[in-house]
Structures are given as structure tokens and as C-alpha cells.
Amino acid sequence: MVSALTNLALFFNELLLMLRAPFNIALLFGSVALGIFFGAAPGLTATLGVALLTTLTYRMSTEVAILALLGMYVGAIYGGSYSSILINIPGTAAAAATAMDGYPLACQGKAGKALGITTTSSFIGTLVGMIFVAAFTPLICRIALNFTSFEFFLLAFFGIMISGTLGSEDLAYKGWISGFLGLFLACMGRDQLQFYPRFTFGIPELDGGIDVVPALIGAFGIPQIIEVLRKEVVPLVFQEVRRVTPELKELLRHLPTAIRSALIGVGIGAIPGVGEDIAAWTAYGVAKNASKHPERYGKGEIDGVVASESANNACIGGAIIPLLSLGIPGSPPAAMLLGALLLHGVQPGPMLTIDHPTFIPKVTAALFLNAFGMFVVGMLLVKQVIKLLKIPQVILMAIVGVLCVIGSYAIGLRIFNLYLMLPVGLLAYCLTKMKYPIAPLVIGVILGPMADANLRRALMVSGGSFLPIFTRPVALVLFLATVFMAVSQVSWVKSQLKRLRKKVPLLSEEERYILAQPNRKG
């Protein structure tokens, strides 16, 4: 109780500290507006936005940088709904489910109403996510303090495997391959324990390994640029927006859907590497199944818009929980956020509450302010954002190309980072084309050093024995979960699991026949 009150006091203290400087307020609205634009413009993504903004926050203090980066993240996830509703092209994958009912609403002349609903739902979703960050992150940190190197190695391995399994559109092991390629990239450079050069090819610049931020900018920026420039230019047709209103009354009617979807969003966000798009689709599916009128979905049902928008914004909070408590990002933009935190000298993980005791309240306060910032900007600047969306995509992407270059360079002031960024980007583009997910690759690059060092440290302590995996409960659970995940992809096991999932009929054919007789007795 005392601890909760202390945290609450810290939260309000951080909130006031952030609001005290006018620069912070300007930065808050500026980054949220930029985020909305990044989310709304097809081709630009939340991850790319966070990646590019990281460069600009390099010289800011950590709390100001967090305010700006979370502003970009929250704004971009919300901003995706603009293009979903107005042009039926989701600005981000997270807003794809919103297009299902948002665009039909816009076609009925209710674009303003739909945007009002998405703004309010996203606001609620972000707040629910924030509450979970505040409540669960310190708790998980405390539990994770008991973890040993074996648990950390298995946790990193589990993170890569689960993000590969859930993020893969095609075969699950394509996701794992992507993760192992990321782990290979992380092996490059001198190893952490003995400083032995691995896969450096005699290039001194590779001794320090691959810098995370340029690799991430390459992995998320270059494929987008190639993808857009390779396509024919398609003129975008916008639906008209008259006035955007908060639609509070309407939302009160859909509050149960909003809360349920936000909870789904938080849960899915906490799974490593699984992003806002899966959260939005899952919440949309659940809302449709729970609805009394599922036939209205896809034709302009407000419940559908509420479900997907509250889920994708709540997912932000969910993705931040494992990021802060375990150092494992819950979504691709959170992976970028991790890169930014490392750049600012903050090492997320169980020691966070000890090394930086006020950091979690800082993040919570930043999320809270960004939720409000998003609400205000969303209500006031819709028409201006739509005007910006009319800038041709080719021009935007060419500018993004220059930003990727200067962004990758500015982090370490090394031209060599650019030489790495482009091949990583091309690799990511080829993998995307062949339906390999990129999130596991990125998570592999980030978690590789942690997995490598912890495995060797753990074996050093145990004298080369793997027995502690089976004697430590958390390690055993993580090991079994990873093995189960791998085995469940074997076709024979898959078919057995499918058979188990099928409901066992409660009544036999004969019993059903008897019950169906109209003149039966008893």
C-alpha cells in the first residue's frame, strides 16, 4: 500500500516536472503531431518514426527523450486510423482492422464521427496500457531479480522463438530463421567475455559489433523506401471530413468493448515481438464474436472501430512492460525504443528499479501526457494532417531515404554505420518479400549479446552442466515452453493438437435423434 502511494506520488511529481518546462509541452504536441503524420502516411511506420526521432533526441535528457519518443509511438499508432478511415489504406499495419468499418462509415458521410470515435478509443486504450505499465512493471522487475543467467538466456531464446512463431505469415520456422539471422548479426564483433574477434573479416570498424540503431533504421526504413518506389504511383482519393467531435456519448455505449479490447491489447502487447496489428485484429475478432449483430461488421459498425483502436493503443503499454522489466521488447517500435534507451545510458531489465528508481514513473507520466496530447492534437489538427497526407509518397520516401542516412550516421558519427545500414535493409527487404517476419531479426540483433553472455556465464557457474535448467522452476517453464513451441510446428503434432481442440460431442447421434423428436416425453 505504502509502495503504491509512493509510486503515485512519484508519478505526479514526474508529471509536474515534465509540464513545468514550456519546451516539453511544445515537444509533446510536436512529437505527437509528427507521430500522427508518420502513422497516417501510407509507407511510413511507427517503428521508422521512432527510429528517425531517436537521432534527434540524442542530445536531450532521458526523460525529455522518452516524452518525445513515446509521443511519436502513441501518435503513429493512432494516426494509422486516418488513412484507414479516409482512403481505405491503413497507414500502419496496426490500423488495418480499423479500415474494415472505418471506411464504410466515411463513405456514409460519417468520417468526422469515425475519427472522433477512434480518437476517444485510442485515448482510453493508451490510458489502460499506462495503468498496466505502472502496476505490473515493478512487480515483474521484482520477480526477475531472482533470475539467474540460465533464465536470462532462455528468456532471450523464448522471446525470439515466440516472436518468430506468432509474427510469421507463412511457416513458423521462417520466423525462427529470421531470429537466428539476427543472432548471427549480434555475434559479429569482439565477444563480451574474452574480446575475441568474431566474423570481423579483419575490418577494425566491426570490432565493436553492429550498432543497433543503424541496423534497425536499415531493417525498417530501406524496405519501405524500395517498396514504395518500386510501385506505380496511385492517386489517393480522400473522403470528406466536416467536423471531428469526441463522441463521448457514443463511446459510453461502447465502453465494455473499449475496455475488453484494451485488455486484449495489453495482453498481446506483452508477448515479445508481437505488435499492434495482431492486437487490433484479435480484439476486432472477439468484438465480432461477442456482438449480437455480427452481420453489421464490415459495413460501418462503430463497435469494430472502437475494438481495433482501443486494442492497438493499449498494446503500447503492453509492449513497454517486458521492455522495461526484462529488457525484451514487446513490439517492433518497442525494439526501437530499447535501442534509444540504451543510447541514453538506460539499461532496461530487472535492475532498472534499482539503477533508475524513478524511471517507471517517468515512463508512466510520459504515456499519460502523450495520451492527452494525442487527444488534443487529434481533435484539432485533423484537417492539417490530411493536407500533409496529400504530399506524394515518392517525395516523402526520397526524403525518408536522406533521413535514414543522416539518422544512422548521427548516432555514432561513423560512415561505416551507413555501409552496414544498407545491406541490412536489403536483407530485410528480401526477407519481407519471401514472407519472413522482420521483428524476430531485430529482436535477435538486440537480444543476441544478452543470450550469448548469459549462456556462457551460466555454464561457467555450473561447470558446464545444463542441469540447472531442470532444477530451477522458471528456467524449466521457459525451456518447456520453447520446446513445446518448436514441437507444435511438426505436422504430426499439429494434427494431434487440432484433433484435441475439436469439441467432444456431449450427445451421441442416437441421443440427438431422440431429443429432436417433436412428440418425445420427459
Partner 1 sequence: MEEKELRRADFLTSLILVAFGVWVLREAFKMPLRGSYAGVKNVWYVSPALFPIIVGVFIILLGTLLLVHAIRSGGATFFMHRLRQIRLQKVASERNLRFLAVLLALGTFVYLFIPRVDFFLASALFLLYAISAFYMEDVDLLKRFAKLYALGSLLFAIVTGGFHRFLAFLPFPNDVLALVFLGVYVGYGLARTRAHGALRQKFVQSISVALLVPLLLCVSFRFFLLVPLPREGLIMEGLYRLYYALFR
Could you tell me if 450 and 350 are in contact, meaning their C-beta atoms sit under 8 angstroms apart?
Answer: no
End-to-end CA distance of the chain: 58
Nearer to partner 1, 30 or 267 (CB): 30
Taking the C-alpha atoms of 455, 461, 465 and 471 in order, what is their torsion angle to the nearest 10 degrees? -90
In the set 406, 467, 483, 507, which binds partner 1 (CB under 8 A)?
406
Among 13, 30, 191, 246, binds partner 1 (CB under 8 A): 191
**Of positions 51, 405, 450, 475, contacts partner 1 by CB under 8 A:** 405
Taking Cα atoms as reference points, which of 145, 147, 153, 191 lies closest to residue 454? 153
Could you please report the per-residue DSSP string of 382-428?
Answer: HHHHHHHHTS-HHHHHHHHHHHHHHHHHHHHT-THHHHHHHHHHHHH
Grid cell locating 175: 520466423
- The residue within the footprint of partner 1, chosen from 109, 256, 357, 392 (CB under 8 A), is 392
Q: Does 194 bind partner 1 (CB under 8 A)?
A: yes
Q: From its phi and psi, is residue 30 left (phi > 0), alpha (psi between -120 and 50) or beta?
A: alpha
- C-beta closer to partner 1: residue 22 or 464: 464
CB 238 within 8 A of CB 86: yes
H-type helices in 145-211, by residue range?
149-167, 172-187
Examine residue 230 and tell whether it contacts partner 1 (CB under 8 A).
yes
Choosing from 135, 193, 477, 507, the residue that interacts with partner 1 (CB under 8 A) is 193
The three three-digit cell numbers of residue 378, written as one number:
487529434
| Lookup: cell for 208 | 565493436
Question: Binding mask 48-77 vs partner 1 (x if CB under 8 A, - otherwise)?
Answer: --------x-xx------------------
What is the spatial distance between Cα 185 and Cα 203, in angstroms, rounded to a whole number? 15
Residue 256 vs 392, nearer CB to partner 1: 392
| Binding flags for partner 1, 457-476, as an x/- string (CB under 8 A) | --xx---x------------
| From 27-35, 337-345, 406-414, 470-478, span contacting partner 1 (CB under 8 A) | 406-414
Distance CA 460, CA 468 (A): 12
Using CB atoms within 10 A of its CB, is residue 146 exposed (0-12), middle (13-18) or buried (19+)? exposed
Say whether residue 181 binds partner 1 (CB under 8 A): yes
Min CB(317)–partner 1 separation in Å: 30
Q: Which three cell numbers stand for residue 239?
A: 473522403
Out of 123, 150, 180, 284, the only residue in the binding site for partner 1 (CB under 8 A) is: 180
Contacts to partner 1 from residues 411-440, by CB under 8 A = 413, 415, 418-419, 421-422, 425-426, 433-435
Q: How far is the CB of 7 from partner 1 (least distance, A)?
A: 35
> Using the rule CB under 8 A, is 5 a contact of partner 1?
no
CA atoms within 13 A of residue 159's CA, in its CB half-sphere:
34
User: CB neighbours (10 Å) of residue 196?
Assistant: 8
User: In angstroms, what is the minimal distance from the CB of 167 to partner 1?
Assistant: 15
Position among 5, 237, 354, 402 found at the interface with partner 1 (CB under 8 A): 402
344 near partner 1 (CB under 8 A) = no
Under the rule (CB under 8 A), what is the footprint of partner 1? 56, 58-59, 170-171, 173-174, 176-177, 180-181, 183-184, 187, 191, 193-196, 198-199, 222, 225-226, 229-233, 392, 394-395, 397-399, 401-403, 405-406, 409-410, 413, 415, 418-419, 421-422, 425-426, 433-435, 448, 451-452, 455-456, 459-460, 464
